[in-house]
Structure 1
């Protein structure tokens, strides 16, 4: 079918293609699919591309979390529930003493406090461990007075991808929480949403959403001994 006949039979569709190609001509690097998406959504180019970028970031975080085994951290919380362990639950501006009854995808349920959204939790530890550790911790005075907020969208938080933590298991790391508490301890386990720090039997449970900064020990310098061993004295290079 000739183009002019097709355009006559499909005037509305032809008009959309004209608009799409005009938009592509006005916007460098814009793909055909994105141009159609912009017209269909009614958004500006900037708004559509920003929404697309957010969607891609969210998908990347979901994929990253799926690559990390969460069983060990889940078992850790399951032991608290089974053993009815008395816990210190640290929130942004206060702490609770309570017993964990159950864990949901977005919330904990405690015996006295009831249902508590996970985003409110900064740290969970056994009561005795936390009471011994708390006086020794450094705190950022500004964050203590005004804790940083947690973004609802994972892609807007400082740390949502658990994979960068994995290489540092067994190393002493430094974590700064949104309420100013700084914890420096060995990294024991990494889950999809949380990490465990401390010593076996005295672990600290810290959600990634509670973190503002993460510092790992510097990588050891490369050993140049092998390069030195391969060097040959100038006296051996005689033609």
Structure 2
């Protein structure tokens, strides 16, 4: 009796409860809280689970970045600015020659090109380093013609957790970049958002967002 009265007084809540309970019975592994969340959001079970997975991945990436020291990468960028080094700034479809004058959380500032959004940068090094490296680079034809785009949300990018690189410092790794270039160089240092490859004095800065995939070079050689 009391249940029927409650349903009359709270018809919309009762309807959602019935929908959630039905969904719970039909979906193995679903709990009641998630069932209510799905009903209220209007999403399918798959969409809701995908959103939850992305939220968990965002938190994991945030935690990972907080646990990787930035000093090595920051020091490299500071040296480039202090030295007024002539740089090759590689982007999706072009390479710009510039001199860094400042760095901000989401951008670099070039003496000639002005503000350069970090998401546009695929790799960066001293011009002399890049000139020596270019003839040796392998390229993916499809990505060279149409570079992969960068998702604004780190959780949607192929590579975003820097911790995976930490055990490979000092080893050669192979990285497929979103513009088709493939770098196979020693890993010098890892930061929250980027890595340094190459050798001291001939470093190549590569942001994680520019990567399509990567693997230790020794592992690739064995396959």
Structure 1 residue 119 corresponds to structure 2 residue 119: yes
Q: SS of the counterpart of 1:62? A: helix
Partners in 1 of 2:68 and 2:194 — Cα distance?
11
* 2:172–2:218 CA contact under 8 A, matched in 1: no
- Farther off after superposition, 162-171 or 143-152: 143-152
Match of 2:74 in 1: 74
Residue deviations 1:73-96, cap 9 Å, x none? Answer: 112112222332221111122111
Q: Counterparts of 1:78-227 in structure 2 under 5 Å?
A: 78-218=78-218
Match of 2:35 in 1: 35
Residue deviations 1:107-153, cap 9 Å, x none? Answer: 22211111121121111101122122222322233332222222223
Task: Mark the runs of 5 or more structure 1 residues left unpaired by the alignment.
Answer: 220-239
Greater Cα radius of gyration, structure 1 or 2 = 1
Once the two structures are TM-superposed, the CA of residue 207 in structure 1 deviates from its matched residue by: 0.8
Partners in 1 of 2:120 and 2:12 — Cα distance?
52
Partners in 1 of 2:42 and 2:145 — Cα distance?
43
Task: Mark the runs of 5 or more structure 2 residues left unpaired by the alignment.
Answer: none
Tell me how large the CA RMSD over aligned residues is: 2.3
Residue deviations 1:162-206, cap 9 Å, x none? Answer: 111111100112222122222222110011111001111211101
Partners in 1 of 2:213 and 2:3 — Cα distance?
59
Match of 1:227 in 2: none
CA shift in 2, pair 1:19/1:85, >3 Å: same
Once the two structures are TM-superposed, the CA of residue 12 in structure 1 deviates from its matched residue by: 4.8
Point out which structure has higher relative CO (alpha carbons under 8 A, 6+ apart): 2
Equivalent residues, number: 219
Once the two structures are TM-superposed, the CA of residue 11 in structure 1 deviates from its matched residue by: 5.3
Residue deviations 1:44-92, cap 9 Å, x none? Answer: 3232222222222222222222221112111211222233222111112
Partners in 2 of 1:66 and 1:55 — Cα distance?
17
Q: Counterparts of 1:2-41 in structure 2 under 5 Å?
A: 12-41=12-41
The normalised TM-score by structure 2 is 0.87
